[in-house]
Structure 1
C-alpha cells in the first residue's frame, strides 16, 4: 500500500468552513485519513 498521503487533512465543519488538521499516525501504522475512510465503511460491524 502506498503511503504517499498528505501531511494535513482538511475537515469540513457543520457550517461548511474547513479546518486543516495535522495527520497523526496511530501505533498500528494507520493514518487519520486511513481511519476515517476505513471506519466509515466498517463502523457498523467493527467493535474495538
Structure 2
C-alpha cells in the first residue's frame, strides 16, 4: 500500500479514479463510512496492484 495525502478539491471518487481502484474499495481499506467527511491533509492508504 502507499500513502496519499488528501488535497483541496479531492473526493473519494476522484482519488479512487486517479489510482485505478473503486471508491468502495478505497473507503473500505481506510475505514471510511461517510465519504463526505474526508478532510484536506488526511492520509489515506491506497492499495497497489
User: Normalised by the shorter chain, which TM-score bucket?
Assistant: under 0.3
Q: Which has the higher helix share?
A: 2
Q: Which has the higher strand share?
A: 1
**Larger CA Rg, structure 1 vs 2:** 1
Normalising by structure 2, what TM-score? Answer: 0.21
Normalising by structure 1, what TM-score? Answer: 0.21
